Chain A
Amino acid sequence: MSTSSSPQAILVLLRRDLTLAFRHRSEMFTPLFFFILVTALFPMSIGAEQSLLQSIGPGVIWVAALLAALLSLESLLRSDYEDGSLEQMLLTPQPLSLLVLGKVLAHWLRTGLPLVLLAPLVGFQYYLAGDTLVTMMLALLLGTPVLSLLGAIGAALTLGVRGGGMLLSLLILPLYIPILVYGAGAVAASATQTLPAQPFLLLLGAFLILAMVLTPVATAAALRISLG
């Protein structure tokens, strides 16, 4: 392939990743089903009383989203690692951080975005009303990419390590806490009407921008360390 500019390289990578993902469509659904299943477990275990579910809903939905994101991170790098295309990425002239950004974007499009679109269904389960659901979707829209971006660092660090999935969760979950606090906070603020949700959403947006700028660098460094 002749030397292409960086944005072109990202688009090519994006198209390739999405095509591959589409060929294994069923893989996309597993994190989604997990998300729905986990959120369904709480009413079963705690009871389906409306006010209770309304108060725990924001937190439960976000924790489930976190867990689903962690589950889905395996698919970010594993198949490329196994067939050697990951090493090829290290050798291309394009800056590795940009390629990483492209891969993470593809990952989010196939795991995070569906979750955002599906979230209202789960919101209904928890008796969350109209504009709370909108806030929830916005918060998830801003937060789930950060989950993918941060998770990519962990995925790169634990590449090929035995027991990597569990280890990845241990490493990344503490880093997810700010997103969790403000994401759930946004939904709770909207649900209880005690606070405006906008500051939360602005904060989440700031996190997103910060993550887009900084995490690809760290992920690229982690990939170089892991692939030698």
Chain B
Amino acid sequence: MNWFRYASPVEFYPLAGRMVPWFAVAAALSTVVGLYWGFFQTPDILSQQKEYYRIIFVHVPAAWMSMWLYLVLVGWAVLGLIYNTRLSFMMAAAVAPTGALFTGIALLTGVLWGKTSWGTWWDWDPRLTSELILFFIYAGYMALQSAIEDSYRADRASALLAIVGLFCIPLIYWSINCPDPTQCAALHARSSMSAIETNILAAMWTMVFAFWMYSFAVIFVRVRNIILERERNSTWVSRLIGGGPS
């Protein structure tokens, strides 16, 4: 099967459309399973934290998604710059809002967890602060894209920006986490993953899977919207929507 066929928006549009319902269903099912597991099959206490630790089931998956989706974004940006394919840039543009959404969710749930766990809404914990910066990096990408009118230039400029951002993110994280170069310490000690009970871990990973399924569904829907918008003047779109030559 010639996969490169699907590198064109014309071919990818219907393919994505067929896949969306499957991802949506998978997302819904795994969410139900994950939440049920997380609320009913797990103990009420996690190390020193009481029931509120359950926020972990959305906070950690959301934080991971925010980071992984940024990598996906940069991946598409690099592909676009190397191969000059329109669809690659459209995919990058489609990923950004969902990545930003998960960053926002991670921040909001992180704040709520912080309030219960150590008493204040915000205390500049290095990880949450880095998440905040990631949010601004997403925002910058989206702002640059919408500020430049010519889509050819907008795509490539924001792609370059995303790549530069990727280089800087580790530096930013290390500088926030280790403001003193001779020693590094996270503000709040986190229990290591292995110490967490298996049921809790399983529920969390199920939620991660659910978020991935959701992301695929939403991103494919969005890229279809982007394709429609960018190709609105072409005949294939006209034929598709109208059901006959215009």
Contact = CB atoms under 8 A, between A and B. Distances in A.
A and B touch in the complex (CB under 8 A): yes
A161 B146 CA distance: 10
A203 B147 contact: no
B180 interface: yes
A20 to B, nearest CB: 27
A157 B172 contact: no
A162 B153 contact: no
A181 interface: yes
B164 to A, nearest CB: 6
A174 B156 contact: no
Nearest to A202: B181
B175 A157 contact: no
B157 interface: yes
B180 A175 contact: no
B147 A167 contact: yes
Which secondary structure dominates chain A's binding surface?
helix
Given A157-B160, A218-B164, A221-B160, A174 B133 contact: yes
Contact of B144 (A167, A199, A228): A167
A225 B171 CA distance: 26
Nearest to B172: A177
Q: Using C-beta atoms within 8 Å of the partner chain, give the interface range for chain B.
A: 20 to 34
Interface string A139-179: 00000000000000100011001111001001101110110
Contacts of A222: 157, 160
Contacts of A203: 181
Interface string B203-220: 000000000000000000
Interface in B168-202: 168, 171-172, 174-176, 179-182
B147 A174 contact: no
Contacts, number: 76
Contacts of B156: 225
Contacts of B167: 214
A200 interface: yes
Interface string A197-228: 00110010001000000100010011001101
B139 A170 contact: yes
Contact of B171 (A178, A199, A218): A178
A171 B160 contact: no
A107 B174 CA distance: 29
B168 A174 contact: yes
Q: Which of A153, A161, A174, A182 has the most CB of B within 10 A?
A: A174
B136 A174 contact: yes
A207 B174 CA distance: 13
Nearest to A162: B147
Contacts of A199: 181-182
B72 interface: no
Contacts of B33: none
A181 B179 contact: yes
A157 B161 contact: yes
A109 interface: no
B133 A225 contact: no
B144 A174 contact: no
B148 interface: yes
A175 B144 contact: no
Contacts of A200: 181
A161 B147 CA distance: 7
Nearest to A182: B175
Q: Which 10 A-B pairs have the closest CB atoms?
A: A178-B175, A181-B175, A171-B140, A199-B181, A225-B156, A178-B171, A175-B168, A157-B157, A174-B133, A177-B172
Interface of A: 153, 157-158, 161-164, 167, 170-171, 173-175, 177-178, 181-182, 185, 189, 195, 199-200, 203, 207, 214, 218, 221-222, 225-226, 228
Given A218-B163, A222-B160, 16 more contacts: A157-B157, A158-B147, A164-B147, A167-B147, A174-B137, A174-B168, A174-B172, A175-B164, A175-B165, A175-B168, A177-B175, A178-B171, A178-B175, A189-B180, A195-B182, A200-B181
